[in-house]
């Protein structure tokens, strides 16, 4: 019996965040300590709870309700590894930790992909909890992403900063889309401070 999917979330524009959804701030530095930018990402915990939990487990802070209070990884200090015409990929330095496709299969396609959407990376058989990407362009046929990947959040602050980061990384792209020798890294991903 096919899995019933909930209504899709339509493409969003920056700044239309829902105050009830958790937001994390991703801080980017240049040359290890010079602040470069901040990007706020709202998480779709009501639409894709497993994908959001997977992302939060890799952040440098414990997730709400995590009785083990264990940190499985951290995006702190991780580099941007790939830049295509459509997306910018981030990976933590601990290497891939695969999550079976079956664990997140029901959440594929619940949220449409578009500019500013954050999504989990995957192979043909599993999702990698330590890799995610943010879309920076709509050139790609987005239906193919909607059928294969789980979008878990969207940029609600700093979309222009994301585009600036994309432009700053272009000189470091080699071998088609691999980023080599970039001075830019994620300094931390933390819950956004209430204003």
CATH code of the domain containing 174: 2.40.100.10
Beta-carbon count within 10 A of 85 CB: 10
Residue 44 lies in a domain: yes
Annotate 156-178 with b (16+ C-beta within 10 A) or e (fewer).
Answer: bbbbebbbebbebbeebeeeeee
DSSP 114: -
Q: pTM of the prediction?
A: 0.80
Residue 6 lies in a domain: no
Phi, psi of 115 (to 5 degrees): -55, 130
**C-alpha to C-alpha distance for 32 and 194, rounded to whole angstroms:** 27
pLDDT of the residue at 97: 59
**C-alpha to C-alpha distance for 131 and 167, rounded to whole angstroms:** 21
pLDDT of the residue at 100: 74
pLDDT of the residue at 164: 94
Residue 150 lies in a domain: yes
- The answer for residues whose C-beta is within 8 angstroms of residue 48's C-beta and 6 or more apart is 107, 110, 111, 150, 151, 152
pLDDT of the residue at 46: 94
- The whole domain housing 94 covers 39-190
Residue 19 lies in a domain: no
pLDDT of the residue at 191: 86
Alpha carbon 60 to chain centroid, angstroms: 14
Residue 94 lies in a domain: yes
**If DSSP codes are grouped into helix, strand and coil, which group holds residue 35?**
strand
Residue 21 lies in a domain: no
Residue 2 lies in a domain: no
How many domains would you assign to the chain?
1
Residue 31 lies in a domain: no
Beta-carbon count within 10 A of 49 CB: 13
pLDDT of the residue at 79: 85
Phi, psi of 161 (to 5 degrees): -70, -40
Q: What is the pLDDT tens value at each position of the chain, 195 positions in all?
A: 444 444 444 344 344 455 578 999 999 999 878 889 999 999 999 999 988 988 887 775 544 555 454 444 567 778 899 998 889 998 765 555 567 778 888 999 999 999 999 998 887 777 766 688 999 988 767 788 888 889 999 999 999 999 999 999 999 999 889 999 999 999 888 888 765
pLDDT of the residue at 121: 85
């Amino acid at each position: 019996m096919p899995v019933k999917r909930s209504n899709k979330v339509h493409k969003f524009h920056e700044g239309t965040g829902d105050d009830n959804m958790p937001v994390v701030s991703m801080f980017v530095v240049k040359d290890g300590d010079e602040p470069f930018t901040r990007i706020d990402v709202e998480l779709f915990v009501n639409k894709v709870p497993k994908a959001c939990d997977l992302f939060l487990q890799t952040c440098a802070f414990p997730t709400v309700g995590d009785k083990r209070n264990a940190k499985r990884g951290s995006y702190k200090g991780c580099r941007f590894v790939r830049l295509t015409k459509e997306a910018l990929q981030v990976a933590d330095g601990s290497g891939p930790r695969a999550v079976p496709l079956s664990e997140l299969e029901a959440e594929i396609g619940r949220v449409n992909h578009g500019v500013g959407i954050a999504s989990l990376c995957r192979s043909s058989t599993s999702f990698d909890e330590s890799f995610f990407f943010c879309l920076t362009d709509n050139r790609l046929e987005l239906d193919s992403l909607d059928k294969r990947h789980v979008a878990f959040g969207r940029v609600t602050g700093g979309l222009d900063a994301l585009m600036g980061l994309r432009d700053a990384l272009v000189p470091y792209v080699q071998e088609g889309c691999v980023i080599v020798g970039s001075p830019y890294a994620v300094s931390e991903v933390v819950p956004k401070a209430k204003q």
